[in-house]
Chain A
Amino acid sequence: MQKRKSYIFFILPGFLIYTVFMIIPLFSAIYYSLFSWAGIGPKIFIGFGNFKKIFFDPQISPVFKNALRNNFVYMSIAVFIFIPIQVLLAYLIDKQIIGHRFFKLIIFLPFVISSTIVGFFSLLVFDPNIGFLNTFLDAVGLTYLTSSWFGDPGKAFYLLVGVIGWQGIGVGMVIILANMKSIPEEVIEASIIDGAGEWIRFWRVMLPFLKPSLINVIILSSIYALTQFDLPYIIGGPTGGINGVMDFMNLFFYRYAFGDAYFGQTAIGFGASISVVTFSIILIIAIVQNILLKNILHRD
């Protein structure tokens, strides 16, 4: 380790760019949220007026609650369904089942495909008239199963979550897999000699070792769920589909911050207050999860 002062010259350029374009904007959103401001013209200080509007305005608050609920439902699906699947996938690949190299590669592959192309894929598959799925169901005589898919408010949200999952499931999988590979071989062997079955071995022996990757994947997935934007916007449109079934916090934010088409003008102050709410929710959830997860997973 060096004690010279030259560290300053190494850190300074990065520090400046990062501070000016990431950290200051992150916190100055709090400042803007206290104003009524269209982005140009006068800024009027209104205190917590914007927040009152988000939580209590009869027009706006139902939209906010619907979007936030969708974020939370999606987050629950990510944590309670996608992560167990990711653990299972990692386990099977770690077990080196036949085809494991191929599976790892192809399951991960959609992550490197841009959201617009994934959006195009879902159009190709789920379009009610020309989509592959309805064409296929018709061809094999299962016409009664055909549907308008994304046009059906009862199905659209879950389909969307499925598409998002298809794109991103490989990331958590490879993180958990790397963790599994770091478990010492002797520990597993000892439990086999002790006669533990595969199921017991997984729960009692393997799972405690997976703590670091699970904590990370749970927190990363939750942040990702709370800041979801690309696929809901591309598939559902800026208003989040029929009756807002595919609406999320970030779309709600985008409509006010940049979507001047909807309100005649952009609402910078109000938009900022929405991102402050999102920011606070992420902060609270990350802290709660950190405390909870450390305690729960420590018991073993």
Chain B
Amino acid sequence: MGLKRKQTIAHWIATIILTLYCLIAIFLIGNLILSSFKTKTDLVYNTFGFPKIFTLDNYRKVFLEDGFIRYFYNSIIITSLSIISLLFVSSMTAYGIARYKFRYKSVVEMYFLLGLMFPIQIAILPIFIILRSLHLINTYWGMILLYTANMPFPVFIFSQFFRDLPTALHESAIMDGAGEFRIFRQIMMPLSKPVIFTVALISFVQIWNDFYLPLVFLSRKTVRTVTLGIYHYLSNFLAYWNYVFAAASAALIPIIIVFFIFSDQIIAGLVTGSLKE
């Protein structure tokens, strides 16, 4: 559309303002990463420039002496196992809801949407009591269970997808004598690769960055995640501030890389279903 691309004066003003606004994020992230390679004195006298002496000392200190290698390990285990479990359970649930006819189907659909309205934080106290009685506080499994239970959005995305698949697929597979689970595993799963990928990306961002659940359930240092590790640095900011840059950079870089490669999928996934009335 030629009409759309005409850049009026108002548009130029918007372009300039938004450029300045976007520079904030770029400056903060760039500065964070550059600062992580500076010595403490360099940080004080050369806050905004390139490192005068390029040092990996901050990283060495953070990872080897302050236990971040452990926090990263914890974050990686919790995030990856939670995503696998979430994908497995939520895709099956959505498949059962979207592809079969049964009584009270709409009630079950509503039931799974309930969690979209009430964030997990509201239920956190009784969850705490349940996890405590199961001895799952300060464990990976407790976290994996909770991230899996927080499934309304993935179930919703998967349902939207399964609903639109042609029924003929299923029927011909039945004719060939395939069982229900084989159909799901060998026909439906390969078809849903793009949705699986989208759900995995969104869950990765959410679980990797999550602050609240680790704060409540992972108080022991051995199970602490990266976000919690950074938080503990922040509470004693001045003593550690050259290390926070290294810890934060290391936590941020994987997310930024994933975001720049897959931003379209992440955004499209979040937008899914928001236009339904």
Contact = CB atoms under 8 A, between A and B. Distances in A.
B21 A107 contact: yes
Contact of B123 (A14, A29, A175): A29
Contacts, number: 252
Nearest to A26: B123
A10 B275 contact: no
B22 A213 contact: no
Interface string B89-103: 110110111011110
A28 B211 CA distance: 24
A121 interface: yes
A178 B274 contact: yes
Contact of A10 (B14, B93, B121, B170): B93
A28 to B, nearest CB: 4
B211 A230 contact: yes
B76 to A, nearest CB: 15
Interface string B204-236: 010011111001100000000001101100100
Contacts of A22: 115, 120, 123, 149-150
Interface stretch (B49-57, B60-68, B264-272): B264-272
Nearest to B95: A10
Nearest to B231: A116
Label chain B's interface by main secondary structure: helix
Interface stretch (A50-58, A63-71, A140-148, A275-283): A275-283
A229 B121 contact: yes
B187 interface: no
Contacts of B115: 18, 22-23
For A115, A124, A135, the residue with the greatest tally of chain B CB atoms inside 10 Å of its CB is: A124
Contact of B15 (A39, A99, A271): A99
A241 to B, nearest CB: 14
Given A20-B149, A21-B145, A175-B270, A1 B123 contact: no
A98 B122 contact: no
B205 A120 contact: no
Bin the interface of chain A by size.
35 or more
A299 interface: no
Interface in B249-268: 251-252, 255-256, 258-260, 263, 266-268
A286 B130 contact: no
B15 A97 contact: yes
Nearest to A94: B4
A8 interface: yes
B11 A15 contact: no
Nearest to A123: B237
B200 interface: no
Given A92-B11, A106-B26, A185-B1, A29 B93 contact: no
Bin the interface of chain B by size.
35 or more
B227 A13 contact: no
Given A22-B120, A120-B244, A109 B259 contact: yes
A268 to B, nearest CB: 6
Contact of A102 (B22, B180, B237): B22
A105 to B, nearest CB: 6
Contacts of B152: 18
A261 interface: no
A158 interface: no
Contacts of A25: 123-127, 130
A174 B155 CA distance: 21
A203 B230 CA distance: 46
Given A18-B151, A282-B117, A29 B125 contact: yes
A234 B26 CA distance: 22
B235 to A, nearest CB: 8
A175 B274 contact: yes
Given A2-B100, A234-B231, A98 B15 contact: yes
Interface in A10-58: 10-11, 13-15, 17-18, 20-26, 28-29, 32, 39
For A120, A132, A230, the residue with the greatest tally of chain B CB atoms inside 10 Å of its CB is: A120
Nearest to A227: B119
A108 interface: yes
A219 to B, nearest CB: 8
A21 B127 contact: yes
Interface in B1-47: 1, 3-5, 7, 11-12, 14-15, 18-19, 21-22, 24-26, 28, 31-32, 47
29 contacts: A4-B100, A7-B97, A7-B99, A10-B92, A11-B96, A11-B108, A15-B108, A21-B127, A25-B123, A26-B122, A95-B4, A96-B5, A106-B22, A108-B263, A108-B267, A114-B209, A116-B234, A116-B248, A120-B32, A135-B47, A166-B24, A175-B274, A212-B277, A216-B274, A233-B215, A234-B234, A275-B123, A275-B124, A275-B125
The 4 A-B residue pairs with the shortest CB-CB distance, nearest first, are: A10-B96, A14-B93, A7-B100, A21-B149
